[in-house]
Amino acid sequence: EKAVNLKKDLAEMQEWMTQAEEEYLEKDFEYKSPEELENAVEEMKRAKEDVLQKEVRVKILKDNIKMLATKVPSSGQDLATELNVVLENYQLLCNRIRGKCHTLEEVWSCWIELLQYLDLETAWLNNLEERVQMTENLPDKLDTVNDALESLESVLRHPADNRTQIRELGQTLIDGGILDDIISEKLEAFNARYEELSHLAVSRQIALEQQLQTMRETDHMLQVLQENLAELDRQLTSYLTDRVDAFQMPQEAQ
């Protein structure tokens, strides 16, 4: 009777493993939304816990069959063979579910990381857009234009590491068919805005550099003119002080 019950327990255990494999490992999942992906991660965590909890039952079966084998070798030997099959299948099921759970957790982590990088770069784009707007309608003052140019250049020196991460993370998920529509849409919008603002910012940078160069040249010309006028004023004052007759002066002084 004990052997019959143990045989029944082994059959039930094998049946449960077959059902678990069908439910958790053989279903085709399509992760088209973050909610679907998150639910799949949580489901696989529960599956892993459920499978690992069966370890106690498997150990009890193993101990009971060993005990029976010492008392009734003939019955115990047959059950031991079935037990080995169950143990092998159980270990395989554990490994596969652990592996799938780990993979889904990695995918979810990849998605969260992508969102974080997108948030960082979006904040930078907002800052860049703000700096570009600040360069519009500037007063025609050398210091003001110079400060605006330096401020814009400081933002443009932003490293490209985050954009590289966004591209690689996004491509990894899309290649796996995971959230591909959502990610493609997000990346397309981000890249379009990045290209537009980058080109606009560089154009404004070039324009400010040219404006600054023109203002510096104009300032230099004014300074030279002021120096010449000051020298001429000094000479004329000297002539007047010395009561020099106008016709005795050089032509340019006349």
Averaged pLDDT, 2-22: 87
Query: Does residue 59 sit within a domain?
Result: yes
DSSP string of the chain? Answer: -HHHHHHHHHHHHHHHHHHHHHHHTSSPP---SHHHHHHHHHHHHHHHHHHHHHHHHHHHHHHHHHHHHHH-HHHHHHHHHHHHHHHHHHHHHHHHHHHHHHHHHHHHHHHHHHHHHHHHHHHHHHHHHHHHHHTTT--S-HHHHHHHHHHHHHHHT--SHHHHHHHHHHHHHHHTTSSHHHHHHHHHHHHHHHHHHHHHHHHHHHHHHHHHHHHHHHHHHHHHHHHHHHHHHHHHHHHHHTT--GGGS-TTT-
**Predicted local confidence at residue 62, as pLDDT:** 84
**Predicted local confidence at residue 165, as pLDDT:** 96
**Predicted local confidence at residue 22, as pLDDT:** 87
**Predicted local confidence at residue 24, as pLDDT:** 85
**Predicted local confidence at residue 144, as pLDDT:** 93
Ranges 53-57, 146-150, 189-193, 208-212: which has the least confidence: 53-57
Residues making up the chain, counted from first to last:
254
Query: Does residue 67 sit within a domain?
Result: yes
Residue 177 confidence class, pLDDT cut points 50, 70, 90: confident
**Predicted local confidence at residue 251, as pLDDT:** 59
Query: Does residue 237 sit within a domain?
Result: no
- Per residue in 96-112, pLDDT (tens digit) is 999 999 999 999 999 99
Residue 253 has pLDDT above 60, yes or no: no
Average pLDDT, the chain: 88
CATH classification at residue 17: 1.20.58.60
**Predicted local confidence at residue 114, as pLDDT:** 97
Query: Does residue 232 sit within a domain?
Result: no
Residue 237 has pLDDT above 60, yes or no: yes
Ranges 2-6, 56-60, 158-162, 169-173: which has the least confidence: 2-6
Residue 130 has pLDDT above 90, yes or no: yes
Residue 27 has pLDDT above 80, yes or no: no
Residue 135 domain boundaries: 1-211
Query: Does residue 148 sit within a domain?
Result: yes
The answer, as to whether pTM is greater than 0.85, is: no
Query: Does residue 254 sit within a domain?
Result: no
Task: With CA atoms as reference, report the closest residue to 66 among 82, 85, 79.
Answer: 79
Query: Does residue 217 sit within a domain?
Result: no
Averaged pLDDT, 89-101: 92
Averaged pLDDT, 137-151: 91
**Predicted local confidence at residue 122, as pLDDT:** 96
Residue 176 confidence class, pLDDT cut points 50, 70, 90: confident
Query: Does residue 231 sit within a domain?
Result: no
How many structural domains does the chain have?
1
